[in-house]
Amino acid sequence: MRKFTFIAFLCTLLLVSCNQEEHLGTSSTENRSGIVFKLQKQGYEGVSSRASETETSLYDQLHYFIVNENGDKVKNIKSYYEAATSEIYTEGLHKGEYRLVVLGIKGNPTADQAIIHTPEHIQDEWLEFPADLQKPLEAEYFYSQTPFSIVEQQTEEGIQEVASIPEEVTQKRIVSRVDFDFAYQNPYVGYAVTDKSLALEDVRFYTTLSGNGDLGGESNGTMDVLSLNQQTSYLFMPLCNGSTLHGDINLSTCNYRKENRKQVYSFEQKELAPNHIHLVETQVNHPDDKAVTMFITPAAYNQGEHSLILQDTERKEVYTDKTVRCFNTAQPLQVSVTEEGKLHTRFYSPRKLTNVLIKMQLPQVSEEFFDLAYFDSIPAFGDFWEEIPLLQRAAMCRTESGRYIEIQKKTASELSQAVLKIESDDPYWSKLQEIKHGWTIYWGLYGGDPEKEDGGPVGNWMGIRPVHCRESVALFLNFTYMIDMPEHEQILHDNAHQLYDDNKQLVKVEEVLKKMRASRTLQVGLVYPGNGIIGLGGGSTFGAYQRGWFEHYFNRYACSVMFHELGHVMGYGHSSSFTYGPWAEQLMNNFYVDNIQQMPIDSRDYLNSSQNPYQYK
């Protein structure tokens, strides 16, 4: 207990800010006793809580009054609440026994249609909710009743009135929180959930609180159906005597084969204690529990904290390491089983891919492929790693013929022998499948430093950044798609007389196509334009200036720079039509820009690189 005298209280008043609120009448002028009550909120008790923890926190609303030993409200005193410090100040009380009664509200009580009455006696009704509210509460309501006394003491200054009060006034919630949780035998069933809802049956809650803390009133037993999709915790008043919290939890799922199921789980919670958290956990028993297929919804992808490659913050040591960042344009979606038995997918693409089914064939089990993983979508530049369920348990697998077989638990070594294949009905996947003659692409700094503001130029090169790497993926996916387009082949035939080598000798269309479709590996870089050079190419080297990477979709000149360097890669010099001639500057650049809508990466908006803050200024 602590003691305050009126003199100490006057000193305290000098420190109070100007946003004080006066409350409960006016000040008496004789024998006044000043008192300070410090409010604390007690934490929830029960499941998922740290019991009895307290915190000093602001309320959105605070109501309080003081009663005498007979329970009558004390008037003719001066009192106010200092929100910034969670303290109640009062003066004007005389010798006697008292109780401070506090109702704190965190949240918006109007959303609960709460009525705050003005009690004259401690037994009067103070807080009231409608009997037909029919929904959980949205605000939290805290209550405390604190006895204290004022006595007379003889001091050197004479007889003074001294207050004996608690060190702190602890507020406890009058509401109860119920958390709804789901335990899945197969985590991918959880990712297949499309809807979760709660239907309560004839549940009666208290609807009133009196000044002395007694609960009363009764709700009408009707409650709206509650969604458990986003919100899984709800606040309720305590249950009336004899009532229980009971009803049905409805669970709807749709698996990767678009098979819909609805399940109903009944539950009963016999008690809702004030200031407690109660857990209602549903043990889900689902027909797909034993299925092997990894159903990767966006929620599953995010839950696994899977990453993205070639992002702006990726370290240069990573994106220029050929062992971890390299792809062939004919296989932009890389799938494999790791030595640890994980499925790994890595996607070199500026666009996402939807409805992706990965099938596995285990030679020691069957000649048939079975469904291993289904992705609702694979994000652009997605990098996914997740343990294959067969590493932990036996599972039922759906084969290509439609039959189900049980495959026993496997070791990582056995899974590493698997053969994988990819299926998708996404039109974008069809485009990618049409790339028959892939080029292998990886990235190099050529001495430049992307961490420097100017790219650390060395000679004609500067440090390539991920924003340029992503654009090179777009360019080479489009280029290797274009070389097999019938329209492209036709334009070469129509302009065969403009295809000549460095000796001005005509080059047959078949020879041009052969060189364009030849298997190649390029180290891609960023050209420093300060020396007047905007492109470099030849052999396994390819580079262009920043504007070329950003504008190849629509800028015919920038596009001609790209094809100029591709001409060098194909082995032609500056005297041929493949660099400073019709192939690069009229045929290819115009065909590419005019037909961009047919390309796999048909818009610059996927990457929007010109607005990227990591570009060179």
What whole-number distance in Å separates Cα of residue 193 and Cα of residue 164? Answer: 58
Mean model confidence pLDDT for the chain: 92
pLDDT at 519 over 60: yes
Instruction: Specify the range with the lowest mean pLDDT, choosing from 1-15, 121-135, 225-239, 478-492.
Output: 1-15
pLDDT band (50, 70, 90) for residue 28: very low
Q: What pLDDT does residue 167 have? A: 86
The whole-number pLDDT of residue 162 equals 85
On the question of pLDDT at 291 being above 90, the answer is yes
Instruction: Tell me the pLDDT tens digit for each residue of 393-411.
Output: 999 999 999 999 999 999 9
Tens digit of each residue's pLDDT (9 = 90 or more) over 252-290:
999 999 999 999 999 999 999 999 999 999 999 999 999
Q: Which domains does the chain have, with CATH numbers?
A: 2-173 (2.60.40), 176-284 (2.60.40.2630), 294-425 (2.60.40), 440-611 (no CATH)
Helix (H) or strand (E) holding 32: none
How far apart, in whole angstroms, are the C-alpha atoms of residue 39 and residue 58?
Answer: 10
Distance CA 614, CA 453 (A): 10
Contact 609, 477 (CB under 8 A): no
What pLDDT score was predicted for residue 53?
55
Whether residue 347 contacts residue 353, with contact meaning beta carbons closer than 8 Å, is answered with yes
| 563 pLDDT more than 90 | yes
CB neighbour burial string for 448-473, b if at least 16 within 10 angstroms, e if fewer: bebeeeebbbeebbbbbbbbbbbbbb
pLDDT value, residue 38: 93
The rounded Cα 204 to chain-centroid distance in angstroms is 37
Helix 556-569 vs helix 466-482: crossing angle, to nearest 10: 80
- pLDDT for residue 24: 39
- Tens of pLDDT, residues 336-351: 999 999 999 999 999 9
Contacts of 154 (CB under 8 A, 6+ apart): none
Q: What's the token pair of residue 490?
A: 């036709």
Cα–Cα distances (Å) from 478 to 158, 180, 350, in that order, read 96, 49, 11
pLDDT (0 to 100) of residue 10: 30
Q: Are 20 and 80 in contact (CB under 8 A)?
A: yes
* pLDDT tens per residue, range 377-394: 999 999 999 999 999 999
For residue 20, report the phi and psi dihedrals to the nearest 5 degrees.
-70, 155
206: which 2 tokens? 């208290």
> Is residue 52 very low, low, confident or very high in pLDDT (cuts 50, 70, 90)?
very low
User: What pLDDT score does 7 carry?
Assistant: 32
**Position 74 pLDDT exceeds 80:** yes
Q: Which amino acid is at 402?
A: G
Give the pLDDT confidence score for residue 56 in this predicted structure. 63
Buried-state track 557-569, b at ≥16 Cβ within 10 A, e below 16: ebbbbbbbbbbbb
Helices (H), 255-399: 298-303, 316-319
pLDDT at 47 over 70: no
What are 418-475's pLDDT values in tens digits? 999 999 999 999 999 999 999 999 999 999 999 999 999 999 999 999 999 999 999 9
Over 60: is that where the pLDDT of 1 sits? no
